[in-house]
Structure formats: structure tokens, C-alpha cells
Amino acid sequence: MSRLISNFVAFQLGWFGCVLGAANGTPAIGPVIVLAAAGLHLRLAARPVREAALLLAAAAIGLVFDSALVRAGWLSYPNGILWAGTAPYWIIALWVAFATTLNVSLRWLRGRPWIAAAFGAVGGPLSYLAG
């Protein structure tokens, strides 16, 4: 139970660090927190190589997906952008932070695709509105 709680808390710290850091002109704070959380996550993982692959896949998916939204003109970010037309690094860190929860605090959603989809349908847009 303590791993579940620490995973949830680490995600929240990373999420707030990314969003509030970017909102206050210090976009590097969140990714540093996420990097520490991801390191702890990998250290505690039963299969760290598989988890590392999951985190890298999430980062790649986030980079492609959010960069497509930027290039389409649907989103724009005031800071944290390394290359024009791409998503900022703090958004990519959010994808990594989310991936740390998939096999720990969100594991209970396995086998429940409708509930998972409902959470995603509500939580995804809300996280963009909050950011």
C-alpha cells in the first residue's frame, strides 16, 4: 500500500511541478521532479527494464502527439520549447509522470477499459484546462 501511495504522491508532485513551474516561468522545475520520481519508480520496479521502456514510449508518444497539436495550431506554449513546432519539455515530462502510474496506482484499471476510457475522457481535457 505504501508503494501505491508514494507512486500517487510522486505523480502529483511531478504534475504540479510541471504545470505550476511552466505557469510561473520556470518550466525546468517540473521535469526535475519527474526525473527524480521516475528514478525512484525504476528503482522500486519489479521489472525496471520494462518500466524504463514504458516511460520512454510514453515520452515518444507525448512528443509526437503534442507536437502534432502544436503544429496544427491547436495548442501553443509560452515556454519550455527546445525546438520550434514541438511540444515543450515539461509536457513530455507529464507524459512520463503519467506512465509511472500505469503499473502501480492505476493498475486497478486493467481489465476495465470503459472505466479507463471514462477517466481519460474527463481527466485529459481537465488537465489541459488546468494547465
CB 96 within 8 A of CB 38: yes
Report pLDDT for 119. 67
Spans of the chain below 50 pLDDT: none
Q: What is the largest CA-CA distance in the chain?
A: 43
Cα angle, residue 28 at apex, residues 27 and 31 outer, rounded to 5°? 105
Distance (Å, whole) CA 31 – CA 84: 19
Handedness of CA 115, 42, 83, 32 (dihedral sign): positive
Cell numbers 522500486 correspond to what residue? 44
Which among 98, 88, 99, 95 is positioned nearest to 28, based on CA atoms? Answer: 88
Distance (Å, whole) CA 24 – CA 15: 14
Report pLDDT for 60. 97
Report pLDDT for 28. 95
Report pLDDT for 128. 57
Compute how many other C-beta atoms are within 10 angstroms of the C-beta atom of residue 99. Answer: 22
Chain centroid to CA 120: 13
Can you give the pTM of this predicted structure?
0.83
